[in-house]
Amino acid sequence: MNILMVGHSRSGKTSFMAGMYKNLGDDTSGYGIRAKNATQKQHLQKMANQLSHGKYPAGTDVQQMYNFELTCLGEDIIPFNWMDYRGGILLSDDPDDEDMGKFLEAIQTADALVVFLDGEKLSDKSGRWTMEYDILLSCIESSLDINHQSWFPICFVITKCDLLPDGSKFYGLNRFQTLFNQISNSKKVGAMLVQCIINSEFYFTPFLALAYCIYGGTPIYVQKRLKAMENAASRAKQHRPETLIGWLAAGTEQLLSGAASIIDCGWETTLDKAEAANWDYEKEQKQLEKLQIISEELKEKLDQWATDNIVTFF
Ligand SMILES: Nc1nc2c(ncn2[C@@H]2O[C@H](COP(=O)(O)OP(=O)(O)O)[C@@H](O)[C@H]2O)c(=O)[nH]1
Ligand SMILES: [Mg+2]
């Protein structure tokens, strides 16, 4: 599944990912994430390590996509791509229709969205940042019309909350109220709002956002897996000889392949294929059951966080 991060430059997207990896990277004692690409893994480990020493990741302006697997007790649960959107629309003061088109295309292929709002800017009373919010707002507002295959989760993350004095107010959020109302009245999308701190001591919030995205994106993923299972089932059927002649032919083939295996030329027989397809089917089924249990568990966690006022849903 594809999780897309959007937010202006320096809003805290890369730091958030570094925090997520510091918290969950290769954790086998509960939930964890595993980077599937060795180079990316090295890079993430370095960023997490630097964060432990109070150093934030260096800024880059290259579009990035990280491939992860969500794990539970070290076992693979669901693969996800974590993408950092850097289209022109969030870089320019005067975005055009083409920029908007590209942005909407990116959202179309996403199964969940994480929107980054700089807490320092949101709590600034001066109104200096309204242009920045307005671009982001119009992007997300336009994306609400997209027909996703299933209910679409949007997670709003207010970053850098450790930099705010006690009792700070997010004046900038007033501009988001109409959008939030639209989301809360829509049956196609839902949202979660969470305040976030990433530094050497606090790096737990990314898990909350990830839980919401995974929980929300699971139904589409399950649909895709069911399709894969159907394919496996039809492959098993295709390769299973149904008539006596078929069984005899398959048996002969099996014998021949036995001979072939002695000379080790790796001949895959019809029965081997059926067995492999059956195995795929069972594997898919087990994986799906596991994912459903995890998804319910994540839902319970999310409800608890809402009860504890750590997150807000609308
Ligand atoms: N104090 C504090 N600073 C943060 C936090 N998140 C990001 N920053 C700062 O914001 C800068 C930009 O963040 P970065 O993750 O690179 O933003 P990106 O451009 O959206 O990827 C970092 O270099 C940090 O200085 C946070 O939670 N707390
Ligand atoms: Mg970055």
Give the chain's mean pLDDT: 88
- pLDDT for 262 equals 54
Mean predicted confidence (pLDDT) in 251-280: 66
Instruction: Compute the distance between CA of residue 31 and CA of residue 29 in angstroms, rounded to an integer.
Output: 7
Mean predicted confidence (pLDDT) in 75-102: 82
Looking at per-residue pLDDT, the higher value among 60 and 202 belongs to 202
Ligand 1 lining (C-beta closer than 6 Å): 7, 9-15, 56-57, 59, 159-160, 162-163, 197-199
Residue nearest to atom 19 of ligand 1 (CA): 10
Residue 247 pLDDT level (bands cut at 50, 70, 90) = low
Find, among 282, 86, 114, the residue nearest to 210 by Cα.
114
* Contact yes or no for 17/82 (Cβ under 8 A): yes
Pairing of strands 152-159, 189-195: parallel
- pLDDT for 235 equals 75
Looking at per-residue pLDDT, the higher value among 254 and 228 belongs to 228
The rounded Å distance from CA 162 to ligand 2 centre is 19
Looking at per-residue pLDDT, the higher value among 44 and 253 belongs to 44
- pLDDT for 236 equals 74
For residue range 170-225, list pLDDT tens digits in order: 999 999 999 999 999 999 999 999 999 999 999 999 999 999 999 999 988 888 77
Looking at per-residue pLDDT, the higher value among 146 and 244 belongs to 146
Looking at per-residue pLDDT, the higher value among 178 and 284 belongs to 178
Residue 290 pLDDT level (bands cut at 50, 70, 90) = very high
Among 189-198, 227-236, 251-260, the range scoring the smallest mean pLDDT is: 251-260
Percent of all residues in the chain with a pLDDT value above 90, rounded to a whole number: 60
What are 114's two structure tokens?
């994480």
Mean predicted confidence (pLDDT) in 218-233: 82
For residue range 29-51, list pLDDT tens digits in order: 999 999 999 999 999 999 999 99
- Tokens 């990741």: give the residue: 57
Residue 91 pLDDT level (bands cut at 50, 70, 90) = confident
The rounded Å distance from CA 91 to ligand 2 centre is 13
The rounded Å distance from CA 177 to ligand 2 centre is 27
The rounded Å distance from CA 238 to ligand 2 centre is 49
* Contact yes or no for 89/102 (Cβ under 8 A): yes
Q: Please, which residues have CB less than 5 A from ligand 2, an ion?
A: 13-14
Mean predicted confidence (pLDDT) in 53-79: 91
- pLDDT for 256 equals 65
Looking at per-residue pLDDT, the higher value among 178 and 88 belongs to 178
Residue 61 pLDDT level (bands cut at 50, 70, 90) = low
What are 46's two structure tokens?
């370095």
Cβ atoms within 10 Å, residue 171 = 15
